[in-house]
Structure 1
Amino acid sequence: MAQRRCGLCTQDIAATEQLAFIGETDAQYYLEPPLHHSCAAYALQVCPRLHAAGERIEVALTQTYELAEDRITGMTPEGELRRATFLFGDPLSRHLGILEFYLAFPVSPTRLTGPAWLAEHLSRPSQGAPSA
């Protein structure tokens, strides 16, 4: 996620290009990398989980995002994991916990339900799925 590469095709996403994140409605952060618009459209059409979730899936559009690290810092007496979120690259974080996930926080995203965004995206000329 630190290199601004598409989570589907793995190609770079230009700094001038708008990113798409796909996830649950009103998600504050995403565990999956950003996507090109065409790759997001493809994923929404072919992934059975995303397709079946319908209106519960949202596309968050943004120019940029901030990264954080979700780290396991210990366990409770009941056996539950203790977690903490650190700024991406914090030099002390690796001494304080085990990295489990990177978290992407979109900056000022525009949010649409998956089906609404897909219908709008596909109605634009030359906006189909990526070519193989």
Structure 2
Amino acid sequence: MTRRRCGLCTKYIATTEQLAFIGETNAAYYLEPPLHLSCAAYALQVCPRLHAAGDRIEVCLTHTYTLAEDRITGLTPEGDPARATFRFGDPLARDLAVLEFYLAFPDAPERRSGPAWLLAQQPRRDGEHPTSEQ
């Protein structure tokens, strides 16, 4: 996530390219790295968990995202991890808490249901591919 690499193929996603996050509908942030659009389409086709979730899965399209750090700050009285979210790279966070996840917050996201978005990615019968707007 910190290097803007695709979570599936691991190749760099150019800053001029739209990218996708896949997750639950209306997710505020994502734990998984972004994907190239073609890698997102592939994942939606072959991953049994994503396929089984149907319309509960959403594709979040964006060009940029903001990172934050989810850190464990201690334990609750019940023994569960106590957590806090820190600004990405906050120098005090390293001293205060243990990093567990990076959180990606999409900037100006366009949200589409996974199945509908995937259908729009399929080449049309006339041989034309969908536009980047889709």
The corresponding residue for 2:116 is 116
The corresponding residue for 1:36 is 36
Distance 2:129 2:42 in 1: 13
Distance 1:95 1:53 in 2: 39
What is the TM-score with the length of structure 1 in the denominator? 0.93
Structure 1, unaligned runs of 5 or more: 128-132
1:106 aligns with 2:119: no
Alignment of 1:64-83 (within 5 A): 64-83=64-83
User: Partner amino acid for 2:52?
Assistant: A
Q: Helix, strand or coil: the match of 2:91?
A: coil
What is the TM-score with the length of structure 2 in the denominator? 0.92
Q: Helix, strand or coil: the match of 2:116?
A: helix
1:63 aligns with 2:63: yes
Following superposition, the deviation at residue 126 of structure 1 comes to 5.2
Structure 2, unaligned runs of 5 or more: none
Percent of pairs with identical residues: 73
Distance 1:30 1:78 in 2: 27
Higher RCO, Cα 8 Å, sep 6+: 1
Are the equivalent residues in 1 in contact too, given 2:121–2:129 (CA < 8 A)?
Answer: no
Query: How many correspondences in the alignment?
Result: 127
Deviations 1:75-119 (A, max 9, x none): 111112110000111111011100000000000100000000000
Following superposition, the deviation at residue 121 of structure 1 comes to 1.1
Q: Please give the root-mean-square deviation of Cα atoms over the aligned residues, in Å.
A: 1.1
The corresponding residue for 1:3 is 3
Following superposition, the deviation at residue 52 of structure 1 comes to 0.4
User: Partner amino acid for 1:2?
Assistant: T
Distance 1:15 1:118 in 2: 23
Q: Helix, strand or coil: the match of 1:116?
A: helix
User: Partner amino acid for 1:23?
Assistant: G
